Amino acid sequence: MMQLITIFKENGFDITFASPALDSDFMVDLSEFGVKKKSIELNNSSFDDFITELNPDVVLFDRFMIEEQFGWRVAENCPKAIRLLDTEDLHCLRTARQKAFKENRIFKLTDLLSEEVAKREIASILRCDLSYIISEFEMQILKDFFKIDAALLQYLPFLVEKMSREDLLQLPSFEDRKNFVFIGNFLHEPNWNTVQYLKESIWPSIKKQFTEAVLEVYGAYPSQKVLQLHQPKNGFFIMGRAEDANEIVKKAKVVLAPIRFGAGLKGKLLEAMQCGTPSVTSTIGSEAMNENLPWNGFIEDNPHEFAKKAISLYLDENLWLQSQKNGIPIVNECYLKDKYSEKLINRVNTLLNDSESHRLHNFMGNLLQHHTLKSTMYMSKWIEAKNKKV
């Protein structure tokens, strides 16, 4: 989201960030980016007055749940405004994979057809003028499986600056680094499951073969069940929130991320490449991240082999250095900001100049905007009326 805000700001857009979320001690100070901030309420017609007065040219929704809440209000009060959806990742894919994992079966794409979240998420994509999709794999699912018109989709991965071998020289060396590390918000179920998997299935094997091994697990919102995994005697440390994730990854020798379900791209693995830190991950973890370029470490799904490769990467300096170098072409070929930011703005400008024709050809989106199918609107109005009676 901050990358999107930065790109729009760099291209002359005046930005207002409106959110129903409560402020937190760790939120970004948007005023430093020249962005105005506005608190809004769910299921409240006060938003109608706000959006009418603001009268934006472009509205960007952060994930489909926000589009469900406010999309119909934007369409009703500012019908000419271009509606964009930042999907972050396909929630229906993550949910269906998680369900298949818990039921101990192999995930199939057809699982998505019975997933309630899929119906809501696809409807949201169809109602919007353009949706940003972070993964090429998810682009393929939307176009080939769900038959979404490519005119409604734009591939937009993480966007970073170019890397060079000289950048690696500015980072801590092999000798100056220590420990394995994992970083991930504990409220995110794929992260919590990964930590459990590390503790129960992978770390015992690593520790048996490499007795000096230490794993530091960082993440915000550690619950009591997370803190119970803290075992210093076994080299397994629950560290809590990272003050600066970048600095922690730079000092680590190897990132471990045996992710078993999820969707989208994994920011922790791109961050590892930028920090010159090799990683060992799973097929799900590396999905759509490297365009068949050599990984900056290993991709392994078998827990025993995962442990062996993590140890070899940690102890073998030549292997570690080569893996570190492998991250550079991945960053430069898959995630360059200059490669995608211009395309993003061009698509938005095209929509601003010819929204009527674009919407005319989005028949399914028009169908979902029809009053008989506006379930999100009527649900919101019902909740608002109910709240007024209290």
How do residues 10-25 score in pLDDT, each as one tens digit? 999 999 999 999 988 8
The pLDDT of residue 89 = 95
Stretch 84-103: mean pLDDT, rounded?
97
The pLDDT of residue 378 = 84
The pLDDT of residue 390 = 58
CA pair distance 131, 84, nearest whole angstrom: 6
> Which region among 261-275, 314-328, 370-384 has the lowest average model confidence (pLDDT)?
370-384
Burial of 146 (0-12, 13-18, 19+ CB in 10 A): middle
Stretch 137-156: mean pLDDT, rounded?
98
264 — pLDDT class (breaks 50, 70, 90): very high
375 — pLDDT class (breaks 50, 70, 90): confident
CA pair distance 376, 82, nearest whole angstrom: 19
Q: Residue 38 above 60 pLDDT? A: yes
The pLDDT of residue 325 = 98
372 — pLDDT class (breaks 50, 70, 90): low
Beta bridge partners of 12: none
152 — pLDDT class (breaks 50, 70, 90): very high
Q: Buried b vs exposed e over 225-244: b needs ≥16 C-beta within 10 Å?
A: ebeebeeeeebbbbbbebee
The pLDDT of residue 388 = 85
The pLDDT of residue 368 = 87
The pLDDT of residue 248 = 98
The pLDDT of residue 373 = 59
Burial of 132 (0-12, 13-18, 19+ CB in 10 A): buried
With vertex at residue 291, the alpha carbon angle to CA 290 and CA 297, rounded to the nearest 5 degrees, is 35
Average pLDDT over the chain reads 95
Cβ contacts of 86 within 8 Å, gap of 6 or more: 1, 4, 60, 61, 62, 63, 131, 132
Stretch 39-68: mean pLDDT, rounded?
97
* Structural domains of the chain ordered from first start: 2-159+337-389 (3.40.50.2000), 165-334 (3.40.50.2000)
CA pair distance 44, 292, nearest whole angstrom: 48
Q: Name the pTM for this structure.
A: 0.94
